[in-house]
């Protein structure tokens, strides 16, 4: 009985601590995710993308996109279900991004740096790919990856 109470207290603490990350990710990924939640099941990955209750699994998503007469138009209600992003609060990547979000210098109005926004977006895209969901635009994904990778290495982009 004590373990259940302790686990609830830990989850409540983590939810409060990571609230800025969750709100920031929801704002950045509003077109792609229905919710961002703190996971209690992830151990090694920073995050994972899962289907919503009424959404398609990654396998069903692939089947639907492979249909011969499938149209990718905006009027198709089955074209893109929003997903859930589960974050691992114990992973160093998530902790570093949270620190950057909480940094008062980053949150100032005159800051033109979009690195954290790019990191969150790329983290989602990578997690979706790892979870089996097809990338909506492979060229855009690789472009984001190379930009962030170049910044990390100190290479000036063209």
pLDDT at 135 exceeding the cut of 60: yes
pLDDT band at 18 (very low <50, low <70, confident <90, very high): very high
Q: What does pTM read for this prediction?
A: 0.78
Whole-angstrom distance, CA of residue 137 vs CA of residue 115: 20
| Contact criterion met (CB below 8 Å) for 144 and 122 | yes
| Contact criterion met (CB below 8 Å) for 94 and 88 | yes
Q: What is the helix (H) or strand (E) element at residue 9, kind and residue range?
A: helix 2-17
What is the average per-residue pLDDT within 15-21?
A: 96
Q: What is the pLDDT of residues 74-127, one digit of tens each?
A: 444 555 577 899 999 999 999 999 998 988 776 555 454 577 888 899 999 999
Q: What is the pLDDT of residues 37-68, one digit of tens each?
A: 999 899 999 999 998 766 666 656 655 665 55
Give the pLDDT confidence score for residue 112 in this predicted structure: 44
Q: What is the pLDDT of residues 141-152, one digit of tens each?
A: 888 888 888 887
DSSP assigned state of 29? T
DSSP states along 93-111: HHHHHHHHHH-TTTTSTT-
pLDDT band at 1 (very low <50, low <70, confident <90, very high): low
């Amino acid at each position: 009985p004590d373990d259940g109470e302790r686990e609830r207290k830990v989850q409540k603490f983590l939810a409060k601590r990571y609230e800025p990350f969750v709100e920031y990710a929801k704002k950045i990924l509003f077109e792609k995710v229905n919710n961002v939640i703190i996971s209690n099941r992830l151990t090694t990955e920073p995050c994972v993308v899962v289907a919503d209750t009424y959404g398609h699994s990654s396998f069903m998503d692939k089947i639907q996109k492979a249909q011969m007469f499938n149209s990718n138009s905006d009027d198709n209600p089955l074209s893109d279900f929003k997903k859930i992003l589960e974050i691992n609060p114990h992973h160093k990547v998530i902790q570093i991004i949270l620190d950057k979000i909480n940094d008062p210098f980053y949150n100032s109005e005159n800051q033109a740096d979009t690195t954290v926004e790019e990191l969150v977006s790329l983290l989602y895209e990578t997690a979706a790919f790892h979870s089996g969901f097809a990338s909506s635009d492979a060229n855009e994904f690789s472009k984001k990856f190379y930009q962030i990778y170049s910044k990390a290495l100190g290479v000036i982009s063209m």
